[in-house]
Structure 1
Amino acid sequence: MSGLRTFTLTVMGTTDLHGNLFNWDYYLDREFDDYAHNDVGLAKISTLVSGVRDDVGRHRTLLLDAGDTIQGTPLAYYYAKVEPITRAHVHPMAAAMNAIGYTAAAVGNHEFNYGLQVLRMFERQLDFPLLAANAIDVSTGLPAFAPYVVKTVWRTGGPPLRVGILGLTNPGIAVWDRAVVEGLLTFPGLVEQALHWVPEVRAKSDLVIVAAHSGADLSSSLGDQVPFPENCAELVAETVPGIDAILVGHAHVEIPQRFVTNKVTGRPVLLTEPLFWGKRLSLMEFDLQVDSRWELVGSRSSVLSSASVDEDPRIVRLLRRDHEKVVTYVNARIGTCLEAMSAARSRFEDTPALGFINHVQALEVAKSTSLPVISLCAPFNRAAAIPAGEVSIRDVAGLYIFDNTLLGVRMTGAQLRDFLEESARYFRQVSGPGPFTAAEVSADVPDYNFDIAYGLSAPLTYGIDIAQPEGSRIVGLAYDGVPVSDSFEFAVAVNNYRQAGGGDFPHIASAPVLHNQQQEIRQLLIDWVKAAGVLDPAAFTRSDWRLVASGVPVVISTNG
C-alpha cells in the first residue's frame, strides 16, 4: 500500500438561486429577512466559496449549480423583459457566476420561462457549460444542451483526477412551459437518460457527480401528463450504477447529507441539496486514493449558511449598477390606494387582495368571450401588502410573484366543481370550527396550489366544508344566487402554469382555450393600476367563498 496517495476533493453546490444576486427584498425595498433570519444571494455565496477555497486550495475545489437561476425576482424579470440582456449587456446572474468561478450548472425548469431566446443568450454569456442530458432537440434527437462535462482538477506527476459532471433537468418543463418548448424540445425521464449517459461519463471519469434539477424524494405534481416523475433524485441514485454523488435541486428543501445505496453495486451515493435562493452552500468532500488509478474511499457533505458572512465586495462593485436600476424601476409610483390591502389571510377568507387579481384576470378574458366569466388565482405571497397612499410597481408586483401568463378556457359546472374539490385538498380534515392555528388546518400542499374562484359580472359563491373528506367539500356552489348545474358553461381565467397542468388539477389542461394572448398577469395588474390611477379595496371586498366545518364558519386564530 506504500504506493497509494490520497487526495480530498471539495465540491461546492448551489441550487434554485432564482435571480437572487444580493441580500435584498425588492418587494419590501429593504434587506432580505425571513422568520429564520436567513440571507440570500450570490454575493454572499461568493464569500462562502472564497472561504472554502482559501481553506483547502482553489485547485482542490469545484463549484456546481443545480438550476433555476434566471427567474424569480424583479431583477430577473427586469433583465428578461424591461431591459433584455444582449451580447453587450451580460445578465447580472451570469456575470456574478462567472466572477465567482462556477464549473458547471444544470438547466432548471424556470430557465425556460422567458423563452428560448433569453435562455440561449444567457447560456452564451456563461464561462461554464449549462448541462441537460434529458433536454432533447426534436429535430436531431440529440441533447439540446451539453449532457456532461469532464473536468481535470488535479495533477501531481501521477494520473490526473477526472471528474465527470452530468446534468439532468425536470421533465415537467414539457407541461409547465409547453408554449415555449412544444415541437422543439422533449424531456425524457431522469432515470432513463442517466442509464444512457452515466456509463459514458464513468468511462471517462474517476468520480461521477450528477447535478439534478429534481427533488430527492419520489413525488410528482404532473399526474399522468408525462410518464416520468417530477422528483426522483433518490431513485436515480438507487437505480443507476456508477454515480458517486448527486447535487439535488428543484424541491426547495435542505438536505445537508443523505446516503442512498445503489441497488446494482451496493455502493453508497451521496445526496445533498442546499436551501434555495443562495441561503446555503452545499459542501461535498470526496476522499480519493490513487495507485494506478483513483478510487473513491469516502464521502461526506454539509451545508454552510450565507447568513454567517458578508457580501463579497467584489461582486457588489461589479453589479451594483444593475441592482440599482431594478430598485429604481420597482419603486416607480403608478397610482394610489385608498386603504391598505393585505394578502395575509387570503388562504382562509375572501380578501380584496385576491379579488383584485381575479377581477383583472376576468376583465381580460371577458374581451374574448360572451360566456359568464369566472377567475381563479392562488395566494402566492402571504407577505404581500399594498399600503394606503402611493402605490409603486413593487407593491403591485408583490401580489403576483410568478411570471405567469393569462389564459381563458371553457369549463362546465361539473368540471368547475371537480376543480374546486381538488383545490380544497389544501386543508386538513377537522372535526369542528375551531379556533385553529393556520398550521392546524393547512395540509401539505403549497400555497400556489390553492386556487380561489371569483365571478366577474355576478358572484360565484361556495363554501369549503373541511369537516368533510377530500372530494366532498364544496357546498352551495352558486352563480348569481342560482345553484350551478353540471352542464352550465363558464369562461375561466387561469394562469398558464395551471392551464398547462401544473398541480395536476382535473379538466383544466384539456379544456378548450378561449383566450391566450401571452399577457403576463403581473404586468396586467400594474397596467390596470396605472390606467385607473386609484386602487379602492372596497371595490373588491366580497364574501363569495368561506371556510366552514359542517356549515359553521371556521375560526383561524393566527395569520401563521
Structure 2
Amino acid sequence: MPDGRGQTERQQAFAMQADCAISLRILATTDMHMKVLPYNYYTDQPCDSGGLARTASLIARRRAEVANSLLLDNGDFLQGTPMGDFAATAMTGKPRSLHPAIAAMNAMGYDAAALGNHDFNFGLSFLRQVTARAGFPFLAANLHVLRGPGFRSHVILRRHVTDGQGRQVPLAIGIIGFVPPQTAEWDRDLSGQMRCADILETARNLVPEIRAEGAQIVIALAHSGIGGLSPHARMENAATALAAVPGIDAVIAGHTHEVFPGRDIPAAPGIDPVAGTLAGKPAVMPGFGGSHLGIIDLDLRPDIADDWQVANFRVRTEAVAAGLPNDADVARPVMGAHRETLRRLRRRVGRSMTPLSSYFALIGDDPGLRLVNMAQRWHVRQRLKNTQWASMPVLSASAPFRSGGRGGPQHYTDVPAGALSLRNLADLYFFPNRICAIRLTGAQLAGWLERSASLFGHVQPGDTDQKLIDPAFPCYNFDVVDGVTWQIDLSQPARFSPDGTLIGPEARRVHELRWQGRPVQPHDNFVLATNSYRLASCGLFSPLVSGNEVALKGDELTRDVLRHYVRRRRRIAIEAAPHWSFKPMPGTSVLFVTGPGGMSHLDQVAARHGARIEYAGEDCRGFARLRLFL
C-alpha cells in the first residue's frame, strides 16, 4: 500500500501535468464499397460524389490542421463496384497480387481497419490474400476462423504524440474491431469456415484485457449500425449499446450507410445527434462510398493513475465536396485496374427492346428486375431437369437494389432500349450472390409477399398525400416474385417490421394471389428461385427458409447467370403487364419519391398501370416527389 506521502506526491505531479493536454484527431471512413475513384461504372461517367481518392484530399487537409491524428476504416471496403468484381477475378491464383483498394489505402497511410460483412463476399481465402499486403492491421474481435489463419482482435498503437507544450509524450491507443454477428450466416459458403460471436459479450471480455495490456484509450471500430441502448443477444446494430461498455472511449459506427451526427439518426435514449454521442461517448458514422469523412477531436488529460482521460471532445461528419481533386498518390496505383474494368464493362452482350429502369420499382414497374427474374427462372429450370423437382412450377424472387434511398437521387438503374453491355448487367445485379432454389407452399408464398409488402406505410382510405414508403424498410428486402400476380391492400397495417418481427398478427395485405390465372391454394407447391443471401436463414425471410427443402444450392453467381441468359437470348423483350398492383382506394392519394431521371418515363409507366401519377415538386435531397392516386 502506498504511504500518504507517496499519494500526496502523485497528486502534486498530477496538478503540475494538468495543463499538458494532448489533442488527438480521429479521421474515419466506412463502407467505401470499392468506390476508389469518383466514377460511376454503371453510367460510364465520372461522378460528383465520394470516392476514396477524393476523400484522401480532404483527409490530407484535416491531418495538416493538427499535430496528432489517426486514420481508421470501418470495413466493407472490398465489394461494391465492378472494379472490385474484376479485381477478384484477376487476382485468382496470383497470391502476390496487390488489390487496388489496398494499394490506395496503403498510399493514404491508414493506421488500422475493421472488417465488414461484405469483405467476405469473395470468400475467406481471397480476403486473407488481399489483407496480407496491407500496411496496417485488419481487426475482427468477434470473428473466429475455424481453420487456418484468422484476423487480429485488436491492436495497441504505441505512438509518441505532441502535447500542448510541444513535447513528445508516449500514448498507447487501443483499437478493437467488430463485424456483425450474422456475417457467417449471410453467406452459406462461410458458415463452415468461421463463427461470429456477440459484439457486446466480446467487448465486455476483451476491453479490460486491452486496458491491462497498456492501452490508455480504446477506440471501437464497429461495423454495426446505431441501434437501441438496451443490449440483446447478437445485436446487428449494436453501436449504441457498445458505446456503453466500460473502457471504450469512442466509437466508429457503420454498416447501415447513415450519417451521424446528422439528420439520418434521430435522438433517442443514449443517442444525441447534436453532440454526436452514443451512451455519452463520442461517436461518428460517415455515410458510405466516401460521401463523408468522420472527425472526432479528443482532448486528453493525464489522471492520477498515470493514464489519460477524455476531458473534452468534438464530433462532426464532413461531406466530401464534389470540387475536391483526386489525390494523385491514391489514384495512380489503381488506374490500371480502373482502365481494365472499363474495357471489360464495355463489351456488348445483347440487345434490349425495352428500357430497363428502376425509378418506379416500388410501385410495381421495374423491367430490369423482371429480366433478373427471367434469368433466374431459366437457370433453375435447366438445373432441375431430370430431378424430383422437374414438374414443379418455378417462380423467381429478386429485389430492386438500386432504388434511391440512402444512395441518393442518382441511385437508380436507367438503361435505355438498345445495345446491352456488361456494365448494364452489372447495374441490374451487383451483389455477388449465388442462385439458389427452395420448395415453398402456397401459404409460405403468401407469407413471403406479406413480408415484402411491409415496405409500405399504413394508408387511411379517403386521406390524401400520405407517405407510401416506410423509410426504415430497406428496398433490398422488397422481393418481387415472377410467375404469380397479386394485389396489395394498403388500408391494412404492415404485418412485419423490417427485421421480421410479427407486429400485425391480424393484418393481411396480399390478396388475389394467382398462378396462371387461378387462385393459389395454401397447399400448392412451388420451387422459388432466390439467392444465397436469402438462403442464409436470417433476417426478414428466415422463417420461410429454415426447414424448407433446398432444391438447388447456390452453384453460380446470379450476375453470371444473367450474362449467360442475355447472351443466349440476344434480343430481350420484357412483358409490359405488371406482376402486382395496389388495391384501389377511391379518394386516396400517396406520396413517394424517385430520381429526377424518372420523369422521362412517367407517362409510359402511368399508361402501363392505368394509374394517375403527378409531379409534386422536389424534396431537399434532390428527389422528385410524386403523387399517386389509388
Task: State the TM-score, normalized to the length of structure 2.
Answer: 0.80
Change (3 A) 1:353 1:475: same
Counterpart CA distance in 2 for 1:516 and 1:100 is 41
Which AA in structure 2 matches 1:233?
A
Match for residue 576 of structure 2? 541
Per-residue CA deviation, residues 28-74 of structure 1 (Å, 9 max, x unaligned), is 111224xxxxx2111012111211222213xx111111111101111
Of 529, 533, 544, 1:507 maps to: 544
Change (3 A) 1:491 1:290: same
Change (3 A) 1:483 1:443: farther
The answer to whether 1:332 aligns with 2:347 is yes
Per-residue CA deviation, residues 429-465 of structure 1 (Å, 9 max, x unaligned), is 213488758x53445311111111111xxxx121111
Q: CA deviation at 1:219?
A: 10
What RMSD over aligned residues (CA atoms) do the two structures have, in Å? 2.6
Per-residue CA deviation, residues 159-197 of structure 1 (Å, 9 max, x unaligned), is 5111000111111113212x2222321111110000010
Q: Say if 1:413 and 1:489, in contact at 8 Å, map to a contact too.
A: yes
Of 110, 114, 132, 2:122 maps to: 114
Note the 1:44-443 alignment, pairs <5 A: 44-57=54-67, 60-84=68-92, 86-138=94-146, 144-155=150-161, 160-177=170-187, 179-203=188-212, 204-218=214-228, 227-238=233-244, 240-256=245-261, 260=270, 268-290=280-302, 292-307=306-321, 309-367=324-382, 368=384, 369-370=389-390, 371-382=392-403, 383-432=412-461, 439-443=467-471
Counterpart CA distance in 2 for 1:395 and 1:433 is 41
Q: Where do 5+ consecutive residues of structure 2 fail to align?
A: 1-14, 273-277, 404-411, 495-506, 589-609, 616-623, 626-630
SS at match of 1:173: coil
Q: Say if 1:281 and 1:303, in contact at 8 Å, map to a contact too.
A: yes
Match for residue 462 of structure 1? 486
Counterpart CA distance in 2 for 1:509 and 1:48 is 46
Which AA in structure 1 matches 2:379?
E
Counterpart CA distance in 2 for 1:85 and 1:288 is 47
SS at match of 2:65: helix
Change (3 A) 1:30 1:544: same
Q: Say if 2:355 and 2:367, in contact at 8 Å, map to a contact too.
A: no
Match for residue 526 of structure 1? 563
Q: CA deviation at 1:260?
A: 4.8
Which AA in structure 1 matches 2:487?
G
Change (3 A) 1:429 1:296: closer
Counterpart CA distance in 2 for 1:485 and 1:527 is 34
Counterpart CA distance in 1 for 2:189 and 2:556 is 14
Q: CA deviation at 1:17?
A: 0.5
Task: State the TM-score, normalized to the length of structure 1.
Answer: 0.89
Counterpart CA distance in 2 for 1:235 and 1:62 is 24
Q: Say if 2:283 and 2:296, in contact at 8 Å, map to a contact too.
A: no
Q: Say if 2:353 and 2:417, in contact at 8 Å, map to a contact too.
A: yes
Counterpart CA distance in 1 for 2:91 and 2:206 is 38
Change (3 A) 1:516 1:473: same
Match for residue 36 of structure 1? none
Q: Say if 2:532 and 2:554, in contact at 8 Å, map to a contact too.
A: no
Counterpart CA distance in 1 for 2:85 and 2:343 is 14
SS at match of 1:191: helix
Counterpart CA distance in 2 for 1:187 and 1:337 is 43
Which AA in structure 1 matches 2:143?
A
Q: Say if 1:436 and 1:556, in contact at 8 Å, map to a contact too.
A: no
Change (3 A) 1:434 1:145: same
SS at match of 1:97: helix
Q: CA deviation at 1:85?
A: 7.8
Which AA in structure 2 matches 1:28?
T
SS at match of 2:226: coil
SS at match of 1:394: helix
Report the count of equivalent residues.
534
Which AA in structure 2 matches 1:310?
P
Q: Say if 1:405 and 1:518, in contact at 8 Å, map to a contact too.
A: yes
Q: Say if 1:400 and 1:522, in contact at 8 Å, map to a contact too.
A: yes
Counterpart CA distance in 1 for 2:38 and 2:216 is 37
Per-residue CA deviation, residues 225-263 of structure 1 (Å, 9 max, x unaligned), is x9411101101112x10110001110110003899599x
Change (3 A) 1:389 1:434: farther
Counterpart CA distance in 2 for 1:85 and 1:274 is 35
Answer 1 or 2: higher relative contact order, Cα 8 Å, separation at least 6: 1
Which AA in structure 2 matches 1:270?
P
SS at match of 1:323: helix
Match for residue 597 of structure 2? none
For the pair shown, the structure with the greater C-alpha radius of gyration is: 2
SS at match of 2:330: helix
- Of residues 164-173 and 397-406 in structure 1, the stretch that sits farther from structure 2 once superposed is 397-406
Q: CA deviation at 1:378?
A: 0.9
Counterpart CA distance in 1 for 2:257 and 2:550 is 32
Q: CA deviation at 1:418?
A: 1.0
Q: Say if 2:91 and 2:97, in contact at 8 Å, map to a contact too.
A: no
Counterpart CA distance in 1 for 2:401 and 2:95 is 34
Q: Say if 2:240 and 2:279, in contact at 8 Å, map to a contact too.
A: no
Counterpart CA distance in 1 for 2:91 and 2:577 is 38
Which AA in structure 2 matches 1:462?
W
Q: Say if 1:430 and 1:441, in contact at 8 Å, map to a contact too.
A: no
- Of residues 528-537 and 389-398 in structure 1, the stretch that sits farther from structure 2 once superposed is 528-537
Match for residue 499 of structure 2? none
SS at match of 2:224: coil
Counterpart CA distance in 1 for 2:61 and 2:259 is 21
Change (3 A) 1:181 1:529: same
Q: Say if 1:468 and 1:550, in contact at 8 Å, map to a contact too.
A: no
Q: Say if 1:408 and 1:513, in contact at 8 Å, map to a contact too.
A: yes
Change (3 A) 1:282 1:133: same
Q: CA deviation at 1:82?
A: 4.9
Q: Say if 1:163 and 1:205, in contact at 8 Å, map to a contact too.
A: yes
Counterpart CA distance in 2 for 1:510 and 1:132 is 31
Which AA in structure 1 matches 2:57?
T
Q: Say if 2:185 and 2:191, in contact at 8 Å, map to a contact too.
A: no
SS at match of 1:71: coil
SS at match of 1:519: coil
Counterpart CA distance in 1 for 2:526 and 2:441 is 6
Per-residue CA deviation, residues 254-280 of structure 1 (Å, 9 max, x unaligned), is 003899599xxx983111110111111
SS at match of 1:278: coil
Counterpart CA distance in 2 for 1:493 and 1:244 is 46
Change (3 A) 1:286 1:427: same
Counterpart CA distance in 2 for 1:51 and 1:443 is 35
